[in-house]
Every structure is written in structure tokens, then in C-alpha cells.
Structure 1
Amino acid sequence: MSSFCDEMWVQCKHIAEEGYQTAFIQGICKGTLDPTSYSGFMNQDIAYVFKAAELFDTVATRAKDEDLKMFARNRQQSFLRCANEMCEKFFIQDPSAIRVGETLEEYCQYLHRVANGMDPLYFMVAMIPCSKLWPWLARKMQHSEVNPNLYGFWAKENMSDSCSAKLESFVAERVSELDEQTSLLVYQTCMTAEVNFFKSATGEEISDISNLTAKLPVRLASA
């Protein structure tokens, strides 16, 4: 992991800690989460993964750099495989029929703006928080003193950090092409949006990210 990505994580770790304390994650830890809340969240997550795959395709199409184009295509295929596996697991025949809530919709709209309106490399930064937060939460659960319960599989299934490692490695090699403050803004916004998504599953009050999204520069760099 690069020191650049390390620093972004350090500056946003308090948001990750907030994510661990959400009713959704604590409900998984303690086995008290309403199964309806869990299934509703995971159905929406399927829609999110398909949307991410779509946006990786957008980035690959826009990118002029061949390495970036190839990396985005590889990530797109990886996310599509994951999304299709989730559909099989949850018996979803038509993922386009999944209705997402306002919180996830706001998150996806932000990712859309990054993918379509900024240098394609910033979309890789935007995807790090999701891929890094889930395995961090899973490991934190594993090391807690909470007894195993019916949601124990969640931690086991989300333990791998290979996705975040690939994204961080790619970004690290091109850090000179990024504006650090803009990268941190994108990272912070997406980390907050991830935690908001957890909160929305149980009706918790979400954090306002409008002040962050309003700062997003458009066409910051050439595609």
C-alpha cells in the first residue's frame, strides 16, 4: 500500500469507526439484525455492484491511457462476476428491477459524476473506500469478543482485501497524476456514503454529504 493511500485511510478512519458502530454492523456482530433489513440492504448492494461495473466500463471508454483502460476493463469484469454470483445467491433474476433507496441513489449519482466528469484515475480513488472498508469491518468483527451467530458468514465472506490492494497499487503508481486534496475529498465522500448506506438499512440518521459533493470539481484533468 502506498503512503498516499495510507494517509487517506488515516484521515478517514474515524468514518470507518463510525461505520463499525452503525446498527447494521453491530446487528451483524451480535446476531440481532432484522433479517428483513439485511436482505433489503444486500439486494440494494447487488444494484450497487452492477452500477460500479457499468461505471468501470465508462472509465475504460473515456481513458486514453492504455494501462488505465485495461485495468478498468479488468475491474469491470471482476465486479460483473461478483454481481452475477450475488444474483444467484439471492435468486435475483432481473437486477434492473431492484429498487434502491435515496441514500444509495445519492451515492451512485456521486460515483457517476466522478466517472463521467473527472480524470478517470479519480474513479479508482473513489472505489477504494468500499473495497477497503468491508474487509476492515470483517476483520474487526473477527477479533471482537462477540460470540458467533447466524451472520458469522458475513465476516468470512468479506475478509479478502485483494480488491482494495489492486486499486491502491494502481493509484500508488500514478499518484503524481492526482491532486492530493481532490483525491482526499473523493475518498472522504465515498467513505461517508458507504457508512450512510449501512445506516440507511436500519433507518438511522445519515450524514449530510451535500457539502462534500458540492466541492467536486468537474473536468479537473484531461481524460
Structure 2
Amino acid sequence: MSESYKGLSEHMLEAWSIKYTSGIHLGKACSNYLDHLYDMAINYDAVYFVTAMLPCYKLWPWLGKQLTAKQNDFGVYTQWVEENLDPTYTGYIDLETLINEEEKHGRINRKMALTVFKRSMENERDFFSSVP
């Protein structure tokens, strides 16, 4: 997953003609979300990071369905919408399966997992609410 995101990052910088990333400054909501994900990745078992990512993996296809992403023209954003808000994407099912298997074998604390999931949901809300 890490390598996939690294490749995506490099692709997006090239596609958007961004040469100097030092000029990009994240807002508080985005920074808080990234801090949460970083904390899960560095300080906890990997399954909690997967749990923290799950709301994002589930939300974007749902948004695509609400926006009928495969049917509408979004102008210059059409390609981005089609790539990121694909309403047919079901990759989150693999994450859910992994989390459920970890719980079944006693390798994840359900209460903590729900807290992590809820915090990621709140971060999604805060991120979307940060744009006027």
C-alpha cells in the first residue's frame, strides 16, 4: 500500500506540474487527519492503521454514487472525479475482511478499533467542512 501511494504521489505531482512541494501548505483539518493516520501507522499495530483508513476507502465511492460520477461531466475535474469517486469501487471490502479476521482471532481490540474508526470519520467530516 505504501509503494502504491508513493507512486500515486509521484504521478500526481507530475500530472499537476508541481515542481516544488515546499509551497504546498495543508490546512488544520488535513494536518489533523494526516497526524491521526501517522500516529496509527507508527505507534500501533498495522490493523489499526487499516481501520483508520477504512472510512476514506468507503466514503469516496459513496460520494461518487451520490454525484453519479460515471454519468456526469465535471469539466476539467472529470478525470479526477472518475478516478477518485468511482461508485463501483469495492476495495474497502478487503480491509473490512482483514479487520474482522483480526477481531475473530483476538488480535484487535474492538473498542479501540471503533474509536479509531470514529476519529477517522470525524476527520473526514472536518476535512470536507474546512472548504467554504
Please say whether Structure 1 and Structure 2 have the same fold, judged by a TM-score greater than 0.5: yes
1:179 to 104, 109, 121: 109
How far apart are residue 149 of structure 1 and its match? 3.9
In the other structure, the counterpart of 2:42 is: 116
How far apart, in 2, do the equivalents of 1:162 and 1:95 lie? 31
Kept in 2, the 8 Å contact 1:138–1:154? The answer is no
Give the % identical residues. 30
How far apart, in 2, do the equivalents of 1:100 and 1:126 lie? 20
Aligned residue pairs total 126
**Counterpart residue identity of residue 194, structure 1:** E
- Secondary structure of 1:114's partner? helix
> Is structure 2 residue 95 aligned with structure 1 residue 167?
yes
How far apart, in 2, do the equivalents of 1:147 and 1:100 lie? 29
Change (3 A) 1:130 1:92: same
How far apart, in 1, do the equivalents of 2:108 and 2:28 lie? 30
TM-score by length of 1: 0.50
How far apart, in 1, do the equivalents of 2:38 and 2:72 lie? 40
* CA distances 1:2-41 after superposition (whole Å, capped 9, x unpaired): xxxxxxxxxxxxxxxxxxxxxxxxxxxxxxxxxxxxxxxx
Alignment of 1:79-158 (within 5 A): 79-142=5-68, 148-150=73-75, 151-158=77-84
How far apart, in 2, do the equivalents of 1:103 and 1:201 lie? 10
How far apart are residue 124 of structure 1 and its match? 0.8
RMSD: 2.3
1:192 to 97, 100, 122: 122
How far apart, in 2, do the equivalents of 1:137 and 1:195 lie? 13
How far apart are residue 93 of structure 1 and its match? 2.0
**Counterpart residue identity of residue 183, structure 1:** A
How far apart, in 1, do the equivalents of 2:72 and 2:11 lie? 28
Change (3 A) 1:163 1:118: same
**Counterpart residue identity of residue 196, structure 1:** D
Alignment of 1:20-59 (within 5 A): none
- Secondary structure of 1:91's partner? coil
How far apart, in 2, do the equivalents of 1:135 and 1:192 lie? 18
Kept in 1, the 8 Å contact 2:74–2:81? The answer is no
Change (3 A) 1:125 1:96: farther
